[in-house]
Amino acid sequence: MTYSQIYKHGAEKLRQNNVENFNFDNRIIFENIFGLDRVQLAIKGEQSAPKDEINNFLKCIDERINGKPLQYIIGVWEFMGLDFFVGDGVLIPREETEILVKEVQKELQNSKSEKIIFDLCSGSGCIGISIAKLCKNCKVYLIEKSPIAIKYLEKNIKQYGLQNVVAINSDITKGFEFFDLPNPDIIISNPPYIKSDEIKELQKEVQKEPIMALDGGDDGLYFYKILAEKWAPYLCEKGMIAVEIGDEQEKDVCDIFSKVYSNIETKQDFNEINRVVIARK
């Protein structure tokens, strides 16, 4: 088969199996396997594609049809303009989460002294690593419980050669006092926030992501309570805690943090949905 033929075959197979963004997914998988973008495909389209690569491409197409997330298939995904290694067992970075990073960046833009930042439930490390690259005068501690996710986190730290980050494989429910760490200036977190009984209703692709990174307990608020009770009180003076929230969780999460601090605000994502809650000491 030629490159053009296999490209069209992949798109058609995804379409026939009702993959929502079949053209986009086909293009990304094709570029990842064959190393040809759309311009190069137009030039080399009538050349024969290597058999091994064709077989690998078709395998990936079948995986996508069976619900495996595109990000897991290609093994990397972009966040804040950076590529992060991802795969089975780690939460996939999402564009709306970039709001957390941008809020911290604004908070630190005029800071001249080193700041201590905690990224709790850090997963792939996309939040904390992005902050560490943007803000050189900070020390970022990334805490992640999953032994699978921590491997991706460490791999992502290594690929960028960062010296101002520390990865910690542990459970944040133990609270700040369990860890021998300095008091933070900023705490940032994208914790699990899906209600336990709603996970089975999620898209099949999302259900392929680790339950540990999705399940926020019966009310979806378990980890916000942990953050408010066991972490937020230890912020330095004028410190800030910023968390991502699920749809329609704004009031509940604001109420949780109002028991610790009175200065609370929310930020919307690009769909004008309240996505971030910020509390200041």
Per residue of the chain (281 residues), give pLDDT as tens.
999 999 999 999 999 999 999 999 999 999 999 999 999 999 999 999 999 999 999 999 999 999 999 999 999 999 999 999 999 999 999 999 999 999 999 999 878 789 999 999 999 999 999 999 998 889 999 999 999 999 999 999 999 999 999 999 999 999 999 999 999 999 999 999 999 999 999 988 899 999 999 999 999 999 999 999 999 999 999 999 999 999 999 999 999 999 999 999 999 998 899 999 999 98
For 179-210, the pLDDT digits (tens) are 999 999 999 999 999 999 999 999 888 999 99
Helix (H) or strand (E) holding 254: helix 250-258
**pLDDT at 95 (0 to 100):** 94
Percent of the chain whose pLDDT exceeds 90: 93
Are β-strands 165-169 and 82-85 bridged in parallel, bridged antiparallel, or unpaired? unpaired
Place of tokens 């032994």: 147
For 78-102, the pLDDT digits (tens) are 999 999 999 999 999 999 999 999 9
Contacts of 11 (CB under 8 A, 6+ apart): 22, 23, 26
**pLDDT at 209 (0 to 100):** 93
**pLDDT at 51 (0 to 100):** 95
**pLDDT at 155 (0 to 100):** 97
Instruction: Give the Cα separation of 281 and 263 in Å (integer).
Output: 7
* CA-based radius of gyration for the chain: 21
SS3 136: coil
Question: Percentages helix, strand, coil for the chain, rounded to the nearest 5?
Answer: 45, 20, 35
Contacts of 251 (CB under 8 A, 6+ apart): none
* Lookup: tokens for 86: 């991802």
Strand order in the sheet with 186-189: 165-169, 138-144, 115-120, 186-189, 240-244, 274-280, 263-268
**pLDDT at 205 (0 to 100):** 87
> Which long-range contacts link 130-136 to residues 24+ away (Cβ below 8 Å)?
130/79, 130/80, 130/82, 130/98, 130/101, 131/101, 131/104, 131/105, 131/188, 132/162, 132/164, 132/165, 133/82, 133/160, 133/162, 134/80, 134/101, 134/105, 135/104, 135/105, 135/108, 135/111, 136/164
